[in-house]
Structure 1
Amino acid sequence: MTLHIGMVAGEPSGDLLAARVMAGLQSGAVAAGEVLFDGIGGPAMRTQGLDCRHDMAALTVFGYVDALKRLPGLLRTYHDVKSHWLEQRPDVFVGIDAPDFNLRLEHQLKHAGVPTVHFVGPSIWAWRYSRIHKIRESVSHMLVLFPFETAIYEKEDIPVTFVGHPLADLIPIAPDRAQMRRQLGLDAGARVLAVLPGSRASEIRLLAPRFLQAVRILQAQDPALQLLVPMVNAQRRAEFEAILATHPVANLKVIDCGTTPGRPAAWDAMEAADAVLVASGTATLETALFKRPMVISYVLSPMMRRLMAWKSGQEKPYVPWVGLPNVLLNDFAVPELLQDDATPEKLADATWTALTDKARAETLAERFLAMHHTLRCDTPTLAARAIYNVATRHAG
C-alpha cells in the first residue's frame, strides 16, 4: 500500500519537525509500504523525500506590512496547492503550524473529504479563543505539544493527541556547563550571562538597547561578568553590533550560528551560562530545558500593540503569563518584565538575582527537569503514528 501525504511547513522550525515525522513514517515501524510526500517545505523535508511544489520561503512574512506586500504571491501559492490536492486527493494532509495559511487550506480539504491533521496547536489558550470554531470545522485531528492543551480540544469535541515537544527530545536531560565553557574558551569559574534579545530585527531594535543598559548596571556590580550573545544569522549580528557600538559593554562574546555544527548558537550560550536574559518566545522553553534560571522580557512598538489588540480584540492574554515555562508550570516561576516594566534597572535587578541566588537556581532546575521529562515523549514517532492512524481510519 502506498500512502500519499500532503504537508505544509512555513518556518524552519516546522521544516525540521516535519522532517523528523517523515523519517518516522518511512522507518517501517509505523507505516507498512511506501510513503510519498508532497507540498511546501524546506531543506530538511526535501532531504526526507518531499516533492516540493513551493519552498517554505513562499510563506515567510515579517509583520503586517510585509504580509500585505506578499499577499498576491501567498494567494497564488495557496490556490496552487489547494487545486493540486483537490485533484490528487492525498490520504491525509498535515499542516505544521502556520495556522493562518494551513487552517484555511485544511478547511477546504476537509470539506472535500480529505482528512486533515494540524500539528502544533495555535495559542488559543492565550489569544483569540474564538479560533476554536475554525479549528473544529477544518481539522480532523490535532497534534499538540503541551499536555494542558488536550483538555481544551477534548472539551470542544475535537480529536487530539499530545505528542510531546520535539525540543525535549533534542536537548540533553543533563546539560554539561563545564564542557561547553571549555569549548567556548570561557573560564570554568566565571560568572556567565547569556543575553538573547530575539531573532527578529524588531526584537533586537527594541530589546537590545535595554538589555545592554541592564548589563552595564550588572557589570558595575561584577566587572568580571562574562556575556554570551548568540545570533541566528549574519544580518541579525550586524544589527546587534550596530546597537552595541552605541551601548558598549565589556567581556562580550557573540556566538554565530554554526559554532557547534548542527546546533543552534543559542543552545551553546544557554548551556554555558549561569543565567539567561531572554526575549519571550521559544527560547524561554529552550532555556528551561537547559535548566537555567532566566528573566523573560518583551517590548512591542506602539503600532504593533494597537494592531495586536485590534486583531485579537484583547489588550492582554487570557493567562497571567507570557513565558512558556511559567505557562507550563502554572506559576510565576521566573520573572517577566514586559513593555513599560522592561527598564534597564528592573532587568538588572531581576537578572542579578537569577545569577546569584543559588538555592533558587537549584529549585528551578528541579522543576525544569520534571517539565523536561513530561515533554520528552519521542515526538516524531507519536506524531507519525497519529498521522498514520488518521489516514488509514479514513481510508477504511
Structure 2
Amino acid sequence: MSLSAAIVAGEPSGDLLAARMLRGLKAHDPETRAMGIGGPAMRRAGFEAWHPMDALSVFGYVDALRQAPRLIRTWRDTRRRTLDWRPDVFVGVDAPDFNLRLEEKLRAAGIPTVHFVGPSIWAWRFERIHQIRRAVSHMLVLFPFEVDLYREQDVPVTYVGHPLAELIPVHPDRAAARARLGLEPGRKVLALMPGSRESEIRLLAPRFLQAAQMLQRQAPDLQVIVPVVNAQRRAQFEAVLARHPVPGCLILSAPPEAGPDTQARADGLDTAEWPVAWHAMEAADAVLVASGTATLEAALFKRPLVISYAITPWMRRIMAWKSGQDAPSLPWIGLPNILEREFVVPELLQEAATPQALAEHVWAALTDAVLAERIARRFTALHETLSRDTPGLAARAILEVSHGRAA
C-alpha cells in the first residue's frame, strides 16, 4: 500500500526542503501521495496543494496579528482535511507557530507527526520544548548540535544535514557567475541582501545603500548587485535606491536566462534551477546580508560576509514579551557564527548597524585577501559537516514513523 503524507511548508526555504524530502520518499515508494500546503518546488515533485504556501506568509507577531483571521481559517481547514484523510504521517516543515499547534492536534488523534527543521529553542523560547514533546513523534534537525538537545528532552530525533549543503557547490565559480550576470571582469563585486520582507527592506536597505555609497567613494569601480525576491520587493527597493543612489547598482529580480554557462554542475544543483540570490553570492567578493537563511547560503558559497539586522522598538517589546527574553540565549544570531560557536564573521545589529560601521567591516571583507582565504577554509569545513544525504535520511525517518504508526 502506497504511503500517504500530509505536508505543510510555509515559505520558499521550506518549499525547497519539502520538495527534496518528497523526492526522497518517492525514491522509496513511487506511489507516495502527498497533499497539504506548499509551493512550486513541491508541486514539481508531485505535491497536491490544498493551499499555496503564501497562505502562511507572515513576518513577526504584528503581521501575524494582522493576518490572524486568514491564518486561522487556513489552519482549521488543514486540520479538517488531514483528519478526514487520515494519512500515514503528517510532516510539518518549519513554520513552528502554525505546524506545532497542528501537530499537537493530529498526534492526539492518532496520526504520527514529523517536524522537519527544529525551532530555534536554543536561542529563543526554550519552554517550547514541552509543546514539542506533546506534538512531535519525531524531529528532523539540520544542525548536528541540535541532536543532544532533543535527546536530553526525550524527543526522538535524527540529524539529516542541511540540504543547502547538497545544493550549493563545494567549489563556487566566481568567474562563471559574473559571466552569467554580464558583469565586467576585474571589478570588485559586493552583493547587498537586505532581506525578503517589507520590514527588512524598510529598515535595512537605507543603511546598506549608504554604506555602499561610502565604499564607492573609496573604490569608484565597485560593482553593487542586489537580488530581490519578487516584483513587490523590487519596487520597494527601487524607491529606497532613489533616495540613496548608488551608481551602477544592478538589481536582480530573476535568474539569468539559461545558456552555455547555466549548466549542470559537478557538485550542487544545476545553475538553471538556482534562486537569483545564489547567482549574486557566487559572483560576489563579499556579501552584506540580513540575518537569516541567506547568511548560511553566503557561508556555503565561501564568501566573506557581514551580518546585520534591525527591528523596530515596538517589535523588540513584543518579542521580549512573547519569548520572556530581552535577547537570544546565544551571543550570536547569524547561522555561520552559531554553527562555528564564535564570531567568524561580524554581526552589526540595531543601533550598531550604522552605515559607517557597515562600510568599515565590508571594506575589510572586500579587500583583505588573508581574511577571505581564512573564511573560505572555515566555511569549506562547515560545508562538509552539513553535507549529508538529506532527502534519503529524512525519507527513511519518515517511513519508519509512518510504518510504525507511532503517534
Bin of the TM-score, shorter chain as denominator length: over 0.9
3-state SS in 2 of match to 1:130: helix
Deviation at 1:73, TM superposition (A): 2.7
Deviation at 1:24, TM superposition (A): 1.3
Deviation at 1:259, TM superposition (A): 2.4
Deviations 1:311-350 (A, max 9, x none): 1111110000000000011110000010010011111111
Residue 15 of structure 1: aligned partner: 15
Distance 2:343 2:41 in 1: 36
Q: Within 5 Å, which residues of 2 pair with 1:289-304?
A: 289-304=300-315
Residue 243 of structure 2: aligned partner: 246
Aligned residue identity for 2:394: A
In structure 2, do the counterparts of structure 1 residues 324 and 221 end up closer, same or farther at CA, with 3 Å as the change threshold?
Answer: same
1:317 aligns with 2:331: no
Q: Within 5 Å, which residues of 2 pair with 1:113-262?
A: 113-260=110-257, 261-262=272-273
Say if 2:192 and 2:208, in contact at 8 Å, map to a contact too: yes
Aligned match of 1:70 in 58, 67, 72? 67
Say if 1:270 and 1:292, in contact at 8 Å, map to a contact too: yes
Deviation at 1:395, TM superposition (A): 7.0
Q: Within 5 Å, which residues of 2 pair with 1:352-367?
A: 352-367=363-378
Say if 1:228 and 1:254, in contact at 8 Å, map to a contact too: yes
TM-score (norm 2): 0.93
Q: Within 5 Å, which residues of 2 pair with 1:40-51?
A: 40-51=37-48
Residue 270 of structure 1: aligned partner: 281
Distance 1:95 1:172 in 2: 27
Distance 1:83 1:324 in 2: 36
Distance 1:187 1:40 in 2: 42
1:282 aligns with 2:279: no
Say if 1:293 and 1:354, in contact at 8 Å, map to a contact too: yes
Deviation at 1:45, TM superposition (A): 2.2
Deviation at 1:75, TM superposition (A): 2.1
3-state SS in 1 of match to 2:325: coil
Distance 2:214 2:48 in 1: 53
Residue 371 of structure 1: aligned partner: 382
Runs of 4+ in 1 over 3 A off after TM superposition: 62-66
Distance 1:37 1:153 in 2: 27
Distance 2:338 2:244 in 1: 33
3-state SS in 1 of match to 2:192: strand
Residue 347 of structure 2: aligned partner: 336
Deviations 1:232-265 (A, max 9, x none): 1111111111111111122321112232543222
Say if 1:91 and 1:395, in contact at 8 Å, map to a contact too: no
Say if 2:112 and 2:406, in contact at 8 Å, map to a contact too: no
Say if 2:88 and 2:111, in contact at 8 Å, map to a contact too: yes
Deviation at 1:206, TM superposition (A): 0.8
Distance 1:85 1:201 in 2: 32
Distance 1:192 1:49 in 2: 39
Say if 2:180 and 2:256, in contact at 8 Å, map to a contact too: no
Aligned residue identity for 1:136: R
Distance 1:191 1:347 in 2: 17
Distance 2:114 2:338 in 1: 25
Residue 265 of structure 2: aligned partner: none
Q: Please, what is the CA RMSD of the aligned residues? A: 1.6
Q: Relative to structure 2, which stretch is displaced further, 92-101 or 57-66?
A: 57-66
Aligned residue identity for 1:13: S
Say if 2:166 and 2:388, in contact at 8 Å, map to a contact too: yes
Aligned residue identity for 1:90: P
Deviations 1:364-387 (A, max 9, x none): 100100111111112111111110
3-state SS in 2 of match to 1:360: helix
Distance 2:101 2:13 in 1: 21
Aligned residue identity for 2:399: Y
Deviations 1:34-84 (A, max 9, x none): 322122222222333333222222222244344233323322222222233
1:380 aligns with 2:391: yes
In structure 2, do the counterparts of structure 1 residues 65 and 340 end up closer, same or farther at CA, with 3 Å as the change threshold?
Answer: closer
Distance 1:395 1:123 in 2: 25
Aligned residue identity for 2:23: A
In structure 2, do the counterparts of structure 1 residues 77 and 256 end up closer, same or farther at CA, with 3 Å as the change threshold?
Answer: closer
3-state SS in 2 of match to 1:7: strand
Distance 1:52 1:291 in 2: 36
Say if 2:137 and 2:406, in contact at 8 Å, map to a contact too: no
Distance 1:97 1:46 in 2: 18
Structure 2, gaps ≥5 residues long: 258-271
Aligned residue identity for 1:317: P
3-state SS in 2 of match to 1:277: strand
Say if 1:15 and 1:41, in contact at 8 Å, map to a contact too: yes
